[in-house]
Amino acid sequence: MPVTRGFHGRRSGADGSRVPPGQYVTPDFPVLSAGPTPRTPLDAWRFTIRGAVEAPVSWSWEEFQALPRETFTVDIHCVTKWSKLGTTWSGVAVDTLLAEVTTEAPYALAFSDGGYTTNVPLADLRGRAWVVDEYDGRPLDPEHGGPARLLVPHLYFWKSAKWVRGLELRADDEPGFWERFGYHNYGDPWKEQRYNGD
């Protein structure tokens, strides 16, 4: 996984109760990607919920922007052991999007431009996940997943899929990109679930 700008190493002085085991706090926002950065024109962007639903739904960028929005502050934790505390985002709660579908599916597979996927239990998206398009009061940079990324802050950051284009709701749990390469299927930073067997 290439590491690009904004990675300056270990920092101290943070509230230890907010930092999971094995993590260190950085004031920077490192950029880590498994491939090139997609750059999707907003007029071509759509977010879709499909799979085990009565009928798929999708939103254009303009329709997505018209949905009820939330601004919130959370800590984020990367599997490469950095944590960034007090990050502020704006976007649409996944609950708002899921309200438009009928499903009994227990699992979701987030899919993104560039072919990236990651799996998350649907229960972990309800009430604690968003599709965000702003970071720190500004449009989300493509390097950080813009125009929109999934944000699931209670799990390791690879579960917060960059360049997200939708959710496929599933009856079975299908591992995503990094999960197929040996990352933990769930990814709880407080249990240090980095790799299979952790």
Q: What is the mean pLDDT of residues 80-94?
A: 97
pLDDT digits (tens, 9 = 90+) for 131-176: 999 999 999 999 999 999 999 999 999 999 999 999 999 999 999 9
Instruction: Return d(Cα 160, Cα 142) in angstroms, integer.
Output: 14
> Are the beta carbons of 3 and 32 closer than 8 angstroms?
yes
Cβ of 98: how many Cβ atoms within 10 Å?
Answer: 20
In order of their start, the domains of the chain are 46-191 (3.90.420.10)
Closest CA to 8 of 35, 30, 39, 41: 30
Q: Would you state the pLDDT for residue 6?
A: 43
Q: What percent of the chain has pLDDT over 90?
A: 87
